[in-house]
Amino acid sequence: MQLVSINPANGKTIKKYTTHTDLEVEKKISQTNTAWLSWKNTAHADRSTLLNNLAAVLQRRKKQLAKLMAQEMGKPVTQGIAEIEKCASVCTYYAIYATEHLKDQLIKTEATKSYVTFQPIGVVLAIMPWNFPFWQAFRFLVPALAAGNCGVLKHASNVPGCALAIEEMIIEAGFPKNVFQTLLVGSDRIDKIIENNLIKAVTITGSTNAGQKVAQKAGSLIKKTVLELGGSDAYIILEDADLEEAAEVCVNSRLINSGQSCIAAKRFIVVKSVEKEFTRLFLEKMQTKKTGDPLDMATTVGPMARADLRDELHHQVERSISSGAQCIIGGELPEGSNAYYPPTILTKVKKGMPAYDEELFGPVAAVITAKDEADAINLANDSVFGLGGAVFTKDKQRGEKIAATKLQAGSCFVNSLVKSDARLPFGGIKGSGYGRELGLFGIHEFVNIKTVYIA
């Protein structure tokens, strides 16, 4: 069997990769476990040195890696460079803070001494998506390595070049052999990999359906999972928002990675009194964004990652329009053997339409009218997802209260687009998954939080 890398900008095959056999997969997992037996005892200072080395490798290779992403999944190179720089930043963050995050915590009891210690658990399987082919992997990999774990990666089948590049950089940075390995396999092999006794935990970023299957399998074997799944982030625009700023932020969030991001803004819930003006500004700013060759530094929106994903998105748009939504820009399939889809805005979106109920994983925005603040909050929370959300208002105290106590999501921002940050925990609730990545909480997900009691 082969994994085929196809350029979504022109439909041409880039390269074919032979998948690993079951025997090769078992050998690689065994090798990684053997590496862990030594790596878990490596001093924190030595781990930090290697993480800083890895950050330097990323910075040196960022243009090359951005080009690889553009070719394999269509990300505009300017965004690709930013993605690699973000990967470098998570390396330097944990190089500085991992020791502090993992230090023993003394607990006063009647014992002579009692404390909590954080111990690595072994080999973690990561099942990662194509949309941020480096950042998603590094978001799991860096805290896992910093905690003394090792990892194997089952990456998305359309980005094998990116998957192998990660393994190459780990080696180039000087990490011990086999602390991280890429498994070139299809999704049909995941269950068997999870069943391997040397796999101690699983993390997945992907669709809710994929997360359910992984959680079910891992749960049957009592293996810890972290799930970062789909999202349909709602951005609330209140009557006192700076509409010019809000429209700019909303367009940028909706078009990040050509709209293919779990935490991209997808539903724009606008209070009725400012809906007309916001929609005008939103349309105006959407029209300024350039769709084109992802290798062109001027391109804002590249092709979607695969033609089948583009076609599925278009079907959601068509079904929404047939149910009463109004398309004010975009919404038409371009000609040619490529995976481009135009930036699209749907207005008059209501419950029961795909644009309201489902995740739109591409450059399509759904504008939903709210009567007032309370109605806007109810509409935002009326979703099976709960990854991120934002609220726009000039009253920051008002916005903070809504973000902190009213919105049902794992990350809620005020007057800003939702984004992940190495310093802050990231993850969702409801159909968007459970567990957290990044920050203090992320490095604690895959450790044995062990109590030590000395009478």
The residues assigned a catalytic role are 228, 262
| Polymer length of the chain | 455
Q: Which of 130, 365, 386 has the alpha carbon at shortest distance from 253?
A: 365
DSSP string, 429-447: SGGGEE--BSHHHHHTTTE
Chain centroid, CA 26 distance in Å:
28
Secondary structure of 268-313 in HEC code, one letter for each residue: EEEEHHHHHHHHHHHHHHHCCCCECCCCCCCCCECCCCCHHHHHHH
Q: Which of 453, 353, 450, 349 has the alpha carbon at shortest distance from 114?
A: 453
DSSP string, 223-238: -EEEEE----EEEEE-
Q: At what angle do helices 44-73 and 77-102 cross, to 10 degrees?
A: 160
List own/partner pairs for 368-371 with CB under 8 A and 24 or more apart: 368/267, 368/268, 368/269, 368/270, 369/269, 369/270, 369/272, 369/275, 370/236, 370/269, 370/270, 370/271, 370/272, 371/271, 371/272
- What is the identity of the amino acid at 395? D
Beta strands 411-414 and 388-392 are parallel
Alpha helices, H only, 3-43? 22-39
Q: Which of 348, 356, 404, 415 has the alpha carbon at shortest distance from 380?
A: 356
